[in-house]
Amino acid sequence: MSSSSQFGHSRIGRYARQLDAGIGWLRFQGDMEREYALQIDRDERRPAMVGAVFSLAFIILFGISDFVRLPLVARFPDLTADMWGILTSRWVAVLFLLGCLYICHRQGGASRAAPLSVAAVLTLAVSGAVSVCLYKRNHLGHAEFAQLLFVMGAFSPLGLRFRHSIALATGVVVLTFSLRYWLLPAELREQQFNAMLLLTLIFSAVGGYLRERAHREQFLLRGILKEQALRDPLTGLANRRGLDEQLEIIRQQARRENVPVGLLLLDVDFFKRYNDRYGHQAGDLALQRVAACLDAFARRPLDMACRMGGEEFALVLYDCGVTSLKDRADALCPDVQGLCIDHATSDICAFVTVSIGGVLLQPQETAWSALDRADQLLYEAKREGRNRTSVERVLPVAAVA
């Protein structure tokens, strides 16, 4: 993600833009939808596991109760086809859920919350519908309206997004109707139950829609707070905390790809004099214009512009060798001067200028160490007259992050 997209000069971040655009269709724009899906999976994986375990216990409990209610022990193995059907539906469901739980446990961090929830709800629905129909066909006591709970369960917070929940709930309704028409004679099919099943689907869907809409809004609000915590409010660039977090990601990626990472540290020349001469409001506007110029150099996805504090800025350049780092630094100085921001109290130029120190990150080097080396070179550029660059010419031990 580029500096412009994540910490860009715009005062409104991508989460705020998405919130302003609305979420009526329960879908975010671009990569944010995938980010939301990953967040859902992380948040709901444990509830999905708990739900699957509960479903397993539920089926086992009713499977055991079958032996008492029917009674099966006294009749075993001379059971009717319907009795064998009830037992088969119970224990096939038990084995299926055990297999799902085992796969989910073995694959650990993989995205398994949604498939596990689908498996649990469908297993309960099919097993329950078969058992109820066979109980009813044999004029035994049954809890037919418990099937309504399976439709409602599709909209539980178990790792499913709304469009998946509505598809699952519709599938449960279709399966229930199909099994009733297959297993029950016409005189035992209650139209009242069919209407209740459809009404349960409609009301559960409305509740599920509202729940996900509220959850998505909370996701965006948390994102806005995080952006604000990592962004400088004056310039819209990353702040020091944002640099520390993003730099570690950049280092890891560069290590995998075996490419160098450059770091430029900039300081606005004689900025205290500028504030004294033109006032703090003009100083803030000058910093914003310098920040916009700096942000324009962070063109690639893993480049990053940052305001370190006061009049000091940093620029991280991915896949940038010594020569390229020097060229970028030498281009940045005249670009800032070319903004033509009047600076009557500067000793070196009639306009605002910057001094720059640059280094390549060394293997396993911390951000503090790299910034300290860049700061020493920045001091050297100031000592030599300001409005100039001082870039380290020593290559890193290896092309790294």
Same domain flag for 53 and 168: yes
- The DSSP-derived string for 308-338 is EETTEEEEEEET--HHHHHHHHHHHHHHHHT
In the DSSP assignment, the letter for residue 202 is H
CB 266 within 8 A of CB 312: yes
Same domain, 161 and 216: yes
Residues 259, 384, single domain; the answer is yes
Is 234 within a domain? Answer: no
267 beta partners:
312, 355
Burial of 185 (0-12, 13-18, 19+ CB in 10 A): exposed
Q: Model pTM? A: 0.67
d(CA 227, CA 165) in angstroms, rounded, equals 31
Residue 222 within a domain? yes
Tell me which of 311, 312, 380, 384 is the catalytic residue: 311
Q: Are 265 and 355 in the same domain?
A: yes
In this structure, are 287 and 157 located in the same domain? no
Per-residue pLDDT tens listing for the chain (401 residues): 444 434 443 445 788 888 888 888 898 988 888 888 888 877 877 788 888 888 888 888 877 777 777 666 666 667 778 878 888 888 888 888 888 888 777 765 445 778 888 888 888 888 888 888 888 888 777 777 878 888 998 898 877 889 999 999 999 999 999 988 888 888 887 778 888 999 999 999 999 999 999 999 999 999 888 888 888 989 989 999 888 888 888 888 888 888 899 999 999 999 999 999 999 999 999 999 999 999 999 988 889 999 999 999 999 999 998 999 999 999 999 999 999 999 999 999 999 999 999 999 887 777 788 889 999 999 999 999 999 999 987 655 544 43
For position 365, which CATH number holds?
A: 3.30.70.270
- Asked if residue 311 lies in contact with residue 287, where contact means CB atoms within 8 angstroms, the answer is yes
Same domain assignment for residues 248 and 182: no
Same domain, 195 and 277: no
Tally of structural domains, the chain: 2
> Does the active-site annotation cover 311?
yes
Q: Given CA atoms 239, 246, 12, 289 in this order, what sign does their dihedral have?
A: positive
Whole-angstrom CA distances from 278 to 234, 271, 345 are 18, 10, 10
Domain range for 42 is 3-228
CA dihedral 339, 342, 343, 344 (to 10 degrees): 150
In 210-297 the beta strands, taken as DSSP E runs, fall at: 261-268
Neighbouring residues of 53: CB distance < 8 A, sequence distance ≥ 6: 101
- Looking at residue 331, its amino acid is A
Assess if residue 235 is contained within a domain: no
